[in-house]
Amino acid sequence: AQSVTQPDARVTVSEGASLQLRCKYSYSGTPYLFWYVQYPRQGLQLLLKYYSGDPVVQGVNGFEAEFSKSNSSFHLRKASVHWSDSAVYFCVLRSNNYAQGLTFGLGTRVSVFP
């Protein structure tokens, strides 16, 4: 069975500091991996995705993620956060049956303080 683990439920960071959100996945094949962000009272929006190629992928708003097959990880990073980055971030794995949608981690709530 496939799964996604986000070990940090909450992260607090100061504005201007760097951010790293951890994600570990379990999947026997070649993974499609995503990071989605959910702002308060909104639906989820795609930040970035990875399927193959360069293990470092760039996303929107200065986010990037690095895929590691050996570590089964897909960590998200941002060099300098802004208060508007306060949100819940979800690491997501595509299902074996893509029509079934995606397998979500539980999310990491990020709070950015001035």
Partner 1 sequence: EAAVTQSPRNKVAVTGGKVTLSCNQTNNHNNMYWYRQDTGHGLRLIHYSYGAGSTEKGDIPDGYKASRPSQENFSLILELATPSQTSVYFCASGDNGGQNTLYFGAGTRLSVL
CB of residue 42 to partner 1, shortest distance in Å: 6
11 touches partner 1 by CB under 8 A: no
Residue 100: CB atoms within 10 A of its CB come to 9
Size of the site for partner 1 (CB under 8 A): 21
CB of residue 10 to partner 1, shortest distance in Å: 12
* 50 vs 52: CA distance, rounded Å: 6
* 98 vs 110: CA distance, rounded Å: 29
Question: Contacts with partner 1 in 65-84 (CB under 8 A)?
Answer: none
Q: Which stretch binds partner 1 (CB under 8 A): 12-20, 56-64, 72-80, 90-98?
A: 90-98
Of 29, 38, 18, the residue nearest 109 (C-alpha): 38
Question: Contacts with partner 1 in 28-57 (CB under 8 A)?
Answer: 32, 34, 41-46, 49, 51
SS3 content of the chain, % helix, strand, coil (to 5): 10, 50, 40
- What does the binding site for partner 1 look like in residue numbers (CB under 8 A)? 32, 34, 41-46, 49, 51, 90, 94, 98-102, 104-107
